[in-house]
Amino acid sequence: MSDQATTIILVRHGETSANTERVWHGSTDTALSDRGWEQARLVARHLAEAEPPATALYTSHLQRASNTAREIGKAQSLLPRIDRGVAEYHLGAWEGRRFHDLLVQEDFWTRIHGDPDFAPAEGESVRQVADRFADSMRKIAETHPGERVIVVSHGGAMALGLGWLIDGHYSSWKRIMNNCAISELILGPKPRLARLARLNDSAHLVGVELADPRDLGGDEGSD
């Protein structure tokens, strides 16, 4: 295994109706909104014109991420590779619930902060999401040592995965990102050698209205 660190450019997908309606669409395969498509084109242009070129592009299988990735890929002649490990946090029976209802009726965030193994019926726990996301990041780093790789994922999965990789905590739910914002993860060959070089960079989206990622039900948000 190479001892070179990999630079992983994390991009949250473009806006969807779930973002504007404040509902949880984890595994729900929601389409990009018109503004989401515009955001995808803007981040694609920025990554192609203003940043060093990437050698590979990975994406969640969900269309809001894969369509964002296709725009990025077209701008850099990269073929998106599907990685289900970076898909969004699946809430099972609670999919489609409003964030306010999850907060007030289910006390959801208190429960996941207190118990990383709590999962709604047919859904995932924060431990499962963080572990699979972190595993994908490590595999990408092993496959592309010393390279620059773009990964298009989701707000909740990235927050949980970065909490585990950077802080060693499954529910450090404090890193929610804007749609099509860019973050930069430096990941070395050792599991604990990880750091954030950039977080939630949205400067390339000037002129496109952004939803506040924390306006999604209390202090937390996802999708």
One-character DSSP codes across 151-170: EEE-HHHHHHHHIIIIIS-T
In this structure, is residue 211 part of a structural domain? no
Q: Which domain holds residue 109?
A: 6-205
Q: Measure the CA angle with vertex 201, ends 197 and 202; round to 5°.
A: 175
Give the residue-averaged pLDDT of 162-167: 92
- For the record, the structure tokens of 5 come out as 């660190």
Q: CATH no. for residue 83?
A: 3.40.50.1240
In this structure, is residue 222 part of a structural domain? no
Residue 131 contacts by C-beta under 8 Å, 6 or more apart in sequence?
164
Question: Is 90 an annotated catalytic residue?
Answer: no
Question: Is 144 an annotated catalytic residue?
Answer: no
Confidence of residue 220 (pLDDT cuts 50, 70, 90): very low
In this structure, is residue 214 part of a structural domain? no
Q: What would the pLDDT profile of 172-182 be if each residue is shown by its tens digit?
A: 667 789 999 99
Which one from 15, 38, 71, 88 is the annotated catalytic residue? Answer: 88
pTM (predicted TM-score):
0.92
Judge whether 196 and 188 are in contact, CB under 8 Å.
no
Number of domains in the chain: 1
In this structure, is residue 223 part of a structural domain? no
Please give the distance of CA 106 from its chain centroid, rounded to a whole number. Answer: 24
Enclosing H/E stretch for 201: strand 194-201
- For the record, the structure tokens of 206 come out as 């000037």
Confidence of residue 159 (pLDDT cuts 50, 70, 90): very high
pLDDT above 70 (res 209): no
In this structure, is residue 101 part of a structural domain? yes
Confidence of residue 208 (pLDDT cuts 50, 70, 90): confident
Q: What's the farthest any 2 CA atoms get from each other in the chain?
A: 49
CA 70 – CA 79 distance, rounded (Å): 8
In this structure, is residue 213 part of a structural domain? no
Please give the distance of CA 206 from its chain centroid, rounded to a whole number. Answer: 21
Residue 221 or 136, more confident = 136
In this structure, is residue 120 part of a structural domain? yes
CA 194 – CA 192 distance, rounded (Å): 6
In this structure, is residue 63 part of a structural domain? yes
CA 87 – CA 78 distance, rounded (Å): 20
